[in-house]
Amino acid sequence: MGNTTFKTNITNYMISISNLNLFNPNECLWFLDRSYDDCMHQVVGNTVWKAIYLNGNPVLFKCTFAIDSIAINCINREIDLEEQNLLITYVEDWFDLETDLAEFYSSIGTTDVLYPLIKKYKGLRLIGINELFESLCWAILGQQINLPFAYKLKRAFVENYGERIVHNNNAYHLFPLPSQLKNCTVDDLRKLQISKSKADYILNLAHFFREDQISKEKLLSFRSEEDIRSKLITLKGIGPWTAEYVMMKCLKIKAALPIQDVGLHNALKHQLGLTNKPTIDEIKTIATAWSGWESYATLYLWRSLSVSPGETNT
DNA sequence: CGCCAGGCTTAGG
DNA sequence: CCTAAGCATGGC
């Protein structure tokens, strides 16, 4: 059962999603505005600004968070009813509002490593990357490098190949579409400090998307999650970690578990008070307790690696 | 300097 | 099937 208790309302181009249950706007804002330089959105106070394509047309909107609601405003132009509904769906997907977190929480036993974390980060939801091409590219760019550098690569890529909406002297970027990379070469991407192999993978993917050989809809129509994982791994540059990451962040598969992830290893080591990182087999054993909620388990463990504002890091 | 970062592919046993 | 090397660069 999903979290179907919230309501959406549209009046005079003002959209709101209200009556949110187990939604923590502060955790949400914290995640969106972590110390990384993410070029895909901007946080100002309790509002996040973002540009996306609705029916192929760029739109700038903002989400203002309150205690149990999100107000959505379109900034650069008026949008019709169909686009308003697409935007609502986008936001619901972006912040994973449909998921019934109570079900996750009640599945975690008091002795589980996650138990303190579900108390501490109650209402933290998985902030997604809705577009499949973007999530694949981002995962590839982030492979085996530190995150500040990964964000730097993404910004260079986005600023060079994506569209932007300028509003009040601020640029809001849209992630490059496969069609916008038609004339882009590996050497072009090398100039942005993207490695040759990563440039290959990304341009190869863009080609597949242009040929309609892969899409989010197609993947979601597969019979099993194992089929989705297998299909993703056939793509060059997509290994087990990237497949699980994308299943988690884009396809919103609750049982996705990027078990090779170093952040996950470090978080478990810290939470369990181990001297060494757990082995893959040990994690497999631990993760049996999270069955069906592996992606949220991973999210809460990742969250535990960062310090909240006002918290001391000891 | 060395080692690790939100890994993956390829080459060589 | 397995392990090792190479990739690109920044932070510590």
- Catalytic residue set of A: 261
What dihedral do alpha carbons A79, A25, A39, A169 form, nearest 10°?
A: 60
Q: At A89, list the tokens.
A: 């769906």
CA of A21 to C1' of B9 (A): 44
The pLDDT of residue A312 is above 60: no
CA of A283 to C1' of B5 (A): 21
What pLDDT is recorded for position A309?
66
Going by their DSSP bridges, the two strands A57-65 and A47-54 should be labelled as antiparallel
> Residue A170: beta bridge partners?
A167
Confidence bin at A1 (pLDDT 50/70/90): very low
Task: Identify the residue whose tokens are 């760019």.
Answer: A141
Asked if A36 CB < 7 A from strand C, the reply is no
CB A28 within 8 A of CB A68: no
Question: Amino acid identity of A257?
Answer: L
Q: Nearest CA to A138 among A70, A287, A238?
A: A238
Taking the C1' atom of C7, which residue's CA lies nearest? A195
Q: At A174, list the tokens.
A: 């849209």
> Which position has the higher pLDDT, A2 or A171?
A171
CA of A195 to C1' of B11 (A): 20
* pLDDT tens for each residue of A239-281: 999 999 999 999 999 999 999 998 999 999 999 999 888 989 9
Asked if A13 CB < 7 A from strand C, the reply is no
Nucleotides of C under 7 A from a protein CB: 6-11
CA A222 to chain centroid, in Å, comes to 21
How far, in Å, CA of A169 to CA of A155, rounded? 18
CA A107 to chain centroid, in Å, comes to 23
CA of A272 to C1' of C3 (A): 30
What pLDDT is recorded for position A121?
96
* pLDDT tens for each residue of A168-199: 999 999 999 999 999 999 999 999 999 999 99
User: Measured at the alpha carbon of residue A24, what is the angle toward residues A139 and A137, in degrees to the nearest 5?
Assistant: 10
Q: Which of residues 160-199 of A touch strand B (CB under 7 A)?
A: 197
Q: Which of residues 117-176 of A touch strand C (CB under 7 A)?
A: 144-146, 148-149, 152
What pLDDT is recorded for position A314?
41
CA of A143 to C1' of B4 (A): 13
pTM of the model: 0.95
